[in-house]
Amino acid sequence: MEVVWLLVSLVILYFGAEWLVSGASSFAARLGVSPLIIGLTIVSMGTSAPELVVSVKAAMNGQSALSIGNVLGSNLFNVGVILGISALIYPLAIKRQLLKFDAPVMVLTAVLFFVLFLDGKISYPEALIFVFLFLAYMAYLFVTSLKNKHRAGEGDEVIKQYKHWAIDVLLIGVGLVGLVYGSNLLVDNAIVIAQKLGMSEALIGLTIVAAGTSMPELATSVVAALKKRSDIAIGNVVGSNIFNLLLILGVAGLIHPIDTPDINLADSLFVVGISLLLWFFMKIGTRIRRWQGVIFLVIYLIYFFIKFSAL
């Protein structure tokens, strides 16, 4: 029965993503705000809602391994699988802001986490630092969007706008609800299957739950790639990775200090490494091309095989 619900959840995720991308694109065009900014903020925060719910609930229950495993696994899945598949569908154009600011922030965030988590803990002061940095990042995006408003959409194709802004908001809202509900349905049934297979809390968090809570990002970025909206496809992933580490771990750590020996050094290094590789690919070309997407997929498969070979 769990398999049937998994299939149902995938259908819900697809339509949720379709409505979210359409509504967000139209909303960005109507406001004169770059779709990249929308992807980095509204879309990435919305699609990261399942990670937030799962990690916060896990923190409240004292399940540190599940809480942090969900975030790290989601960040790996976002770049390895989501960007990999999206690039295979349609080579993703790199915007200057993404290369010069947002991607470096994503890398520095991963490095900061790696350093602070060397002792296997995220203390209250460290969690506070994460939340503060997230608020600073969001403030910068807001100020930047206001400064560049007159140039929004420059060089981009014309985006379809719906007749009224209320339709944009409705599509965004319904899309987000569908994504959150669909991912929760997927995660709940995936956990039941994983527990029947005898998987540990950390492994479930790093793989099954991480992949499940990343389904909104996957659905959204794939639909955006199909629509040739590179700015939303890649902005969603980069924004989600920053959101996951800074806000989700920050909030989870403030609720209950994170302390687990089950997440090892290799997990953190994979997150740092794949973030650096994404930034490197951005610097050497104007697009994330199909062969680079294949490399991301191979890296994730290697990680996935390593984790399950330890069972």
Q: Which domains does the chain have, with CATH numbers?
A: 2-309 (1.20.1420.30)
The whole-number pLDDT of residue 149 equals: 58
What's at 148, amino acid-wise?
Answer: N
**Which residues have a Cβ under 8 Å from the Cβ of 268 and sit 6 or more positions away?**
72, 113, 114, 117
Report pLDDT for 76. 93
At residue 310, the pLDDT reads: 63
- Predicted local distance difference test score (pLDDT) of residue 157: 47
Q: Alpha helix locations (H) across the chain?
A: 2-31, 35-38, 44-47, 49-60, 64-77, 84-89, 96-97, 103-116, 124-147, 165-196, 201-203, 210-213, 215-226, 230-243, 249-255, 265-284, 290-309
CA distance 121 to 260: 7
CA-derived radius of gyration, the chain: 18
> Residue 224's closest CA among 212, 214, 236, 213?
236
The Cα 94–Cα 115 span in angstroms is: 29
Residues in the chain: 311
Consecutive 10-residue averages of pLDDT for the chain (311 residues): 74 76 76 74 73 75 80 91 92 86 94 93 93 92 71 50 84 83 73 72 73 76 83 86 92 87 86 95 91 95 82 57
- Report residue 229: phi and psi, to 5°: -100, 75
Amino acid 263 reads I
Please provide residue 147's backbone torsions phi and psi, each rounded to the nearest 5 degrees: -65, -40
| Separation CA 35–CA 57 (nearest Å) | 32
User: Encoding tokens for residue 239?
Assistant: 């924004």
| pTM of the predicted structure, to 2 decimals | 0.80
pLDDT at res. 86: 92
Helix (H, G, I), strand (E, B) or coil at 121: strand
What does the alpha-carbon distance between residue 181 and residue 10 come to, in Å, rounded to a whole number? 11
Please state, in angstroms and rounded to a whole number, the distance separating the CA atoms of residues 44 and 38.
Answer: 8
Question: In terms of Cα–Cα distance, which of 4, 11, 19 is closest to 183?
Answer: 11
In this predicted model, what pLDDT tens digit does every residue of 113-150 receive, in sequence order? 999 999 888 999 999 999 999 999 988 887 877 776 54
Q: What is the pLDDT of residue 271?
A: 94
Distances from the Cα of 13 to the Cαs of 172, 173, 240, 241, in angstroms?
13, 14, 17, 20
For residue 287, which amino acid is it?
R
How many Cβ atoms from other residues are within 10 Å of residue 302's Cβ? 12
- At residue 297, the pLDDT reads 95
What is the C-alpha separation between 292 and 271, in angstroms, rounded?
17
How far apart are the C-alpha atoms of 244 and 48, rounded to whole Å?
7
**E strand or H helix at 287, and its extent?**
strand 287-288
- Reduced to 3 states (helix: H, G, I; strand: E, B; else coil), residue 114 is helix
Which residue has 């994330």 as its token pair?
Answer: 288
